[in-house]
Amino acid sequence: MTNNPKVLIAGAGPVGLTLATELVRHGIAVRIVDKNAARTDKSKALVMWSRTLELLDDAGYAQAFIPAGLIAHGAQISTGKEIMAKVTLDSIDSRFPYALMIPQSETERVLEERLAAAGVTVERRVELAGFTDTGASVEATLRRADGFSESLSADWLVGCDGAHSTVRHGLGFAFEGSTLESHWALADGHVTGLAPADRLHIFWHRDGILAFFPIVGDRWRVIADLGPAEGNEKRPDPTLDEINALMTHRGSPGIAMTNPVWLAAFRINERKVRDYARGRVFLAGDAAHIHSPAGGQGMNTGMQDAFNLAWKLALVIEGAAKPALLDGYSPERSAVGERVLRNAGRLTEAATLRNPIAQGLRNTIVKFAAGFPALQHKVADQLAEMDIGYPDSPLTATGPYSISGPAAGARWPDKLPAGAGGRRFTALGPADAVAALATKFPRLVVAAPVKDPAHTTSLRLIRPDGYVGFAGAATDLAKADAYLAAIASA
């Protein structure tokens, strides 16, 4: 292990592992440490959504995750006696139009094995004890479980170390938000009496929500609302008998669980930092934002934090881009975190309504809305994080430009060319224009072959994370040039 890595990553969950994998793919020297003795053996974050799979696909390794999970094509909402709505995920605007139900333990395994194949080993039972940003580097102290301490110097530090982040505390950032005043139960085990297996099953009972998420085979995750909580009150973990009683009371007849893998009681926290960065130190994932599990977007949002930061860090470290490129990370991802927290909170509020009149109104609205395919499509795209964009980012070129198709700041729908994903901007447009940009900015731009004739009427620069940075007319070469010149290192 080098004492002078370019990037030190604290935390080896899905977010830290994603960041390390992406940086190593660029040839950037990293060290990644985690205080735990081994990766998680729990299912924890269970859903990998379409947008995350697209980013992994652009990077070249999405297919490694799919065999380890189960493809879910939709969800249905029921009262236990009546199905109120069926939501299909097949309409998601993606080359991955589904939810991949994959235990976090498997997500971490795939990422850690890929990292190991690249020659990087997660340093376990090693924690970040402290750090100082000197302005020129980050001086850090690592402490092993046996008490041995090591000092090292890194160019950058990224805290992917979870809700109790040492890095966040070291920065002095407030984790603003609250703990919801409700108790919840989780059970991961083998369930019979529930079909079809490629759907999420949600029961809105008058006494609380009961939700089932398929894992693999006959294994399911069960989540149930247990009612109001006060202050810091905690409940003991549920027993299998208690879980089965809840399923009998709230679900459809005949559902039962055996051989539980994991039983837990929990409270929901909704918290977020205002800024994701200061100087040479960054936050990503749960270190920066935690929210309700409704929608299953926590891990996905964190992994997308990692993708967003990785390409920026890599281009700056390689000397291809000015350090100011990194200034775009915090505003872009903070806005996304705010939105995900808000949407997850709304889903939780709708699911935990107690007033019978409010419940009846909710059920009527959902049943009515389910009859509109366009609305279903919008809901599915939001869950899959397909509608995330960066229209207000400092890295988004403002128009207005009279063109058709995705505007600056929007997600680019097509797979990026081999070698471009996560590494360079992709220039799309007339052959002479994209060739000129690739020639002038060889460390920033790759020219993509034009497959769609419509691309010859416009000129676009697609960021390494698959979002449109610049979108103009075919004649706007000078403006595209100026956009890249503002990013490129001298």
Neighbours of 258 (CB within 10 A): 11
pLDDT the model gives residue 363: 84
pLDDT the model gives residue 261: 95
CA dihedral 442, 446, 450, 452 (to 10 degrees): -140
Helix (H) or strand (E) holding 438: helix 431-440
| Mean pLDDT on 274-294 | 95
335-349: b (≥16 Cβ within 10 Å) or e: bbbebbbebbbeebe
Distances (CA, A) of 487 to 50, 236, 394, 411: 29, 53, 11, 20
Residue 133, strand partner residues: 138
Please give the residue range of the domain that contains residue 470.
389-490
In a domain, 1, yes or no: no
pLDDT the model gives residue 228: 87
Residue 22 has pLDDT above 90, yes or no: yes
Q: How confident is the model at residue 37 (pLDDT cuts 50, 70, 90)?
A: very high
| Mean pLDDT on 304-320 | 97
Q: Do both 457 and 485 map to the same domain?
A: yes
DSSP class per residue in 111-138:
HHHHHHHTT---EETEEEEEEEE-SS-E
C-alpha span between 490 and 376 (Å, rounded)? 48
pLDDT the model gives residue 309: 98
Q: Do both 92 and 38 map to the same domain?
A: no
Q: Do both 404 and 483 map to the same domain?
A: yes
Residue 427 has pLDDT above 70, yes or no: yes
pTM greater than 0.85 (yes/no): yes
Q: How confident is the model at residue 82 (pLDDT cuts 50, 70, 90)?
A: confident
C-alpha span between 101 and 399 (Å, rounded)? 40
In a domain, 2, yes or no: no
Residue percentage of the chain with pLDDT more than 70 = 97
pLDDT the model gives residue 455: 65
pLDDT the model gives residue 152: 95
Instruction: Return the closest-CA partner of residue 222 out of 254, 185, 197.
Output: 185
Helix (H) or strand (E) holding 248: helix 240-250
The domain boundary, picked from 387, 406, 441, lies at 387
Q: How confident is the model at residue 345 (pLDDT cuts 50, 70, 90)?
A: confident
Q: Do both 454 and 361 map to the same domain?
A: no
In a domain, 470, yes or no: yes
Instruction: Return the closest-CA partner of residue 61 out of 107, 130, 10.
Output: 107
Q: Do both 241 and 361 map to the same domain?
A: yes
Q: How confident is the model at residue 3 (pLDDT cuts 50, 70, 90)?
A: low
Q: How confident is the model at residue 421 (pLDDT cuts 50, 70, 90)?
A: low
CA dihedral 444, 449, 454, 458 (to 10 degrees): 30
Q: Do both 13 and 60 map to the same domain?
A: yes
Q: Do both 220 and 364 map to the same domain?
A: yes
Q: How confident is the model at residue 373 (pLDDT cuts 50, 70, 90)?
A: confident
In a domain, 463, yes or no: yes
Helix (H) or strand (E) holding 258: strand 256-266
Residue 1 has pLDDT above 60, yes or no: no
C-alpha span between 1 and 154 (Å, rounded)? 12
In a domain, 135, yes or no: yes
Average pLDDT taken over every residue of the chain = 92
Q: Do both 210 and 308 map to the same domain?
A: no
CATH code of 339's domain? 3.50.50.60
> Domain tally for the chain?
3
By CB atoms closer than 10 A (0-12, 13-18, 19+), residue 364 is exposed
Q: How confident is the model at residue 417 (pLDDT cuts 50, 70, 90)?
A: confident
CATH code of 428's domain? 3.40.30.120
Instruction: Return the closest-CA partner of residue 186 out of 158, 149, 159, 224.
Output: 224
C-alpha span between 10 and 31 (Å, rounded)? 9
Residue percentage of the chain with pLDDT more than 90 = 74
Instruction: Return the closest-CA partner of residue 270 out of 212, 349, 208.
Output: 349
Quick: pLDDT tens for 223-256: 999 988 888 888 999 999 999 999 999 998 999 9
pLDDT the model gives residue 374: 81
In a domain, 152, yes or no: yes
Quick: pLDDT tens for 452-490: 776 678 899 999 999 999 999 989 999 999 999 999 997
Neighbours of 235 (CB within 10 A): 14
In a domain, 111, yes or no: yes
When mean pLDDT is compared across 55-59, 166-170, 369-373, 486-490, the lowest value belongs to: 369-373
pLDDT the model gives residue 450: 67
When mean pLDDT is compared across 61-65, 207-211, 329-333, 364-368, the lowest value belongs to: 364-368
| Mean pLDDT on 56-60 | 94
Reading the block at residue 294, the tokens are 């409704």
C-alpha span between 117 and 60 (Å, rounded)? 14
Residue 268 has pLDDT above 70, yes or no: yes
pLDDT the model gives residue 382: 87
CB 267 within 8 A of CB 183: yes
Give the list of residues 6+ apart from residue 388 with CB closer than 8 angstroms, or none: 51, 304, 336, 339, 411
Q: How confident is the model at residue 348 (pLDDT cuts 50, 70, 90)?
A: confident
